[in-house]
Amino acid sequence: MNNRRRNEKEIDKDTLCVNDAQDAHNMLLVRGGSPLIGELEISGAKNAALPVLCATILSNGIFEIENCPRLKDVFTLIELLSSLGARCEWQDEPDERQGAITNTPCGTTLKINTANIASQDAPSELVRRMRASFLVLGPLLARFGIARVPLPGGCEIGSRPVNFHEAGLKALGARWHVKEGFVEVTARRLKGADIVLDFPSVTATEHLMMTATLCEGKTIIENAAREPEVEDLGQMLNAMGARIEGLGTSKIMIQGVKRLSPVRWRVIPDRIETGTFMMAVGIAGGDVTLKGTMPSYLDAVITKLRLTGLDIETDENAGAIRVFKKRHKRLNPVDVTTSPYPGFPTDLQAQLTAMMAFSSGVSVVTEQIFENRFRHVDELRRLGADIRVEHRSAIIKGKEMLTGAPLTATDLRASASLVIAGLGADGETAVFDIHHLDRGYERLDGKLRAIGADIDRR
């Protein structure tokens, strides 16, 4: 494989790869009215890739992470691992994926050599740019006995405390000090413990599970998160030599081991990207087959979407989902409450709210996970959507037609909801501040264009 590190600038802006050229463009212009037709490859899951990359710190050697999505949050974490001394290289290979421009060096296999990690001090700017970087704290502590990482701040959707992470690491024997905005942790030796999470926090479960693999003795995490990304991380750790049981349940048991070994690991498909495209078809109409995905990760979502009248066919063996809807068919309203997996995911709440803005009745969408995740509502109202927010619920009165308008993205999933709303609005919708979007989607505009959407990056 060609290990030449690809110079992102070499790829011109029209390719489907995420690259620096996109930084120069901060707006997507969407013209509504085109149905979505064709096939799309789903990328690797952002929220699986991020903890998987952090887990490479636990062992020194060469990892090959396949199906790694090329998006900004992954690029940020690569910068962080490199700043610690790891060597990260994309394995360039012709991009055969659907809609990609062939022979564009745009591989998705990332080679990481962690043998020379020499620093345990994560740079503030990188951690503040991407909260999940905080997950390097435990692995650095487990491998080196010390770590210093900026305390992640809040973000657009909520205060995002890390008290579960703190309580868990302290239970494993860490000494935790906050100084000048940094968390400094030390431990002479880490010992397994019984931990109960007050809420099934995804990254707290991942953080404590990773750290516990190198503790002496047994750790039990009660009320653990059951998300597929947590289960995939645990399976990778087991492939590295960890001894973890109960993955996918709310009780995870980790028997500590002395050391772990590097592995080749394939990142699972992105269920949130999959759901986003399903709802795009719900808004624009058409007939799209999503490939390289896992229908079983989306049971709650598929059940709800079928209630709206969207036609959905799944093929678990083929890893495919077909979504289709006649262009002018009005979808039924539906009530949804977000909850931890296997419930309806909060990361698809904004996209569903956008889809229900076009439905034939009144829907109530309740957000139970984050305290400030309705920032897309004000922007959807600019399209003429009839939505009001009461406490943690959005009451959405569907309308047959919305009208394009200039909109401003506020956070990652809100930006996706505005883009897909534009697919169904009459006229032009300009979505500004799309750097939020590029954090968590690989080539969303390029993929939508490949199935017929009239969308340009400006």
In which residue are the tokens 């709802």 written? Answer: 279
User: Helix, strand, or coil here: 184?
Assistant: strand
Q: How far apart are CA 124 and CA 439, in angstroms?
A: 18
- Considering the rule CB under 6 A, would residue 321 count as an interface residue with ligand EPZ? no
Q: How far apart are CA 69 and CA 45, in angstroms?
A: 7
Among 18, 149, 300, 412, binds ligand EPZ (CB under 6 A): 412
| 208, 138 Cβ separation under 8 angstroms | yes
Q: Of the ranges 4-12, 20-28, 154-162, 386-394, which one interacts with ligand EPZ (CB under 6 A)?
A: 154-162
- Considering the rule CB under 6 A, would residue 231 count as an interface residue with ligand EPZ? no
Among 136, 149, 202, 224, binds ligand EPZ (CB under 6 A): 202
Among 2, 163, 249, 303, binds ligand EPZ (CB under 6 A): 163
> What are residue 321's DSSP bridge partners?
290, 314
- Count other C-beta atoms under 10 Å from residue 7's C-beta: 10
Among 160, 330, 375, 397, binds ligand EPZ (CB under 6 A): 160
- From the candidates 17, 54, 155, 215, give the one annotated as an active-site residue: 155
Token pair listed for 302: 């598929």
Residues 6+ apart with CB under 8 A from 396: 333, 353, 356, 357, 359, 362, 363, 364, 365, 385, 386, 387
- Considering the rule CB under 6 A, would residue 436 count as an interface residue with ligand EPZ? no
H or E stretch covering 322: strand 320-325
Q: How far apart are CA 173 and CA 367, in angstroms?
A: 35
Choose between 200 and 282: whose C-beta lies nearer to ligand EPZ. Answer: 200
Among 122, 141, 204, 244, binds ligand EPZ (CB under 6 A): 204
How far is C-alpha 258 from the chain's CA centre? 31
Among 164, 277, 324, 374, binds ligand EPZ (CB under 6 A): 164
Token pair listed for 430: 């300009």
Fill in the DSSP letter of residue 450.
Answer: H
For residue 386, the minimal CB distance to ligand EPZ (Å) is: 26
Q: Of the ranges 96-104, 139-147, 162-170, 293-301, which one interacts with ligand EPZ (CB under 6 A)?
A: 162-170
Choose between 282 and 345: whose C-beta lies nearer to ligand EPZ. Answer: 345
Among 11, 80, 100, 132, binds ligand EPZ (CB under 6 A): 132
- Count other C-beta atoms under 10 Å from residue 72's C-beta: 23
- Considering the rule CB under 6 A, would residue 201 count as an interface residue with ligand EPZ? yes
Number of shown-chain residues binding ligand EPZ (CB under 6 A): 23
Residue from 452, 453, 411 nearest 428 by CA: 453
How far is C-alpha 231 from the chain's CA centre? 15
Fill in the DSSP letter of residue 216.
Answer: B
- Considering the rule CB under 6 A, would residue 210 count as an interface residue with ligand EPZ? no
Distances (CA, A) of 163 to 87, 203, 250, 319, 328: 32, 12, 19, 37, 48
Q: Of the ranges 44-52, 290-298, 328-336, 444-452, which one interacts with ligand EPZ (CB under 6 A)?
A: 44-52
Choose between 145 and 158: whose C-beta lies nearer to ligand EPZ. Answer: 158
Choose between 151 and 430: whose C-beta lies nearer to ligand EPZ. Answer: 151
Choose between 85 and 158: whose C-beta lies nearer to ligand EPZ. Answer: 158
Choose between 17 and 414: whose C-beta lies nearer to ligand EPZ. Answer: 414
- Considering the rule CB under 6 A, would residue 262 count as an interface residue with ligand EPZ? no
Fill in the DSSP letter of residue 23.
Answer: G
Distances (CA, A) of 377 to 194, 353, 408, 412: 41, 8, 11, 14
Q: Of the ranges 57-65, 194-202, 400-408, 429-437, which one interacts with ligand EPZ (CB under 6 A)?
A: 194-202
155 is catalytic: yes
For residue 168, the minimal CB distance to ligand EPZ (Å) is: 9
Q: Of the ranges 54-62, 195-203, 246-254, 388-396, which one interacts with ligand EPZ (CB under 6 A)?
A: 195-203
406-408 and 428-432 strand pairing: parallel
Binding pattern for the stretch 359-388 against ligand EPZ, x by CB under 6 A and - elsewhere: ----------xx------------------
Residue from 353, 346, 345, 394 nearest 370 by CA: 346
Q: How far apart are CA 344 and CA 357, in angstroms?
A: 18
Fill in the DSSP letter of residue 4.
Answer: P
Choose between 89 and 231: whose C-beta lies nearer to ligand EPZ. Answer: 231
Q: Look up residue 253 and give its amino acid.
A: M
Among 103, 116, 125, 161, binds ligand EPZ (CB under 6 A): 161
For residue 202, the minimal CB distance to ligand EPZ (Å) is: 4
Choose between 161 and 361: whose C-beta lies nearer to ligand EPZ. Answer: 161
Q: How far apart are CA 211 and CA 257, in angstroms?
A: 11
Binding pattern for the stretch 334-363 against ligand EPZ, x by CB under 6 A and - elsewhere: ------------xx----------------
Residues 6+ apart with CB under 8 A from 377: 353, 385, 387, 389, 394
Q: Which residues bind ligand EPZ (CB under 6 A)?
A: 46-47, 50, 132, 158, 160-165, 199, 201-204, 346-347, 369-370, 412-413, 440
Residues involved in catalysis: 155
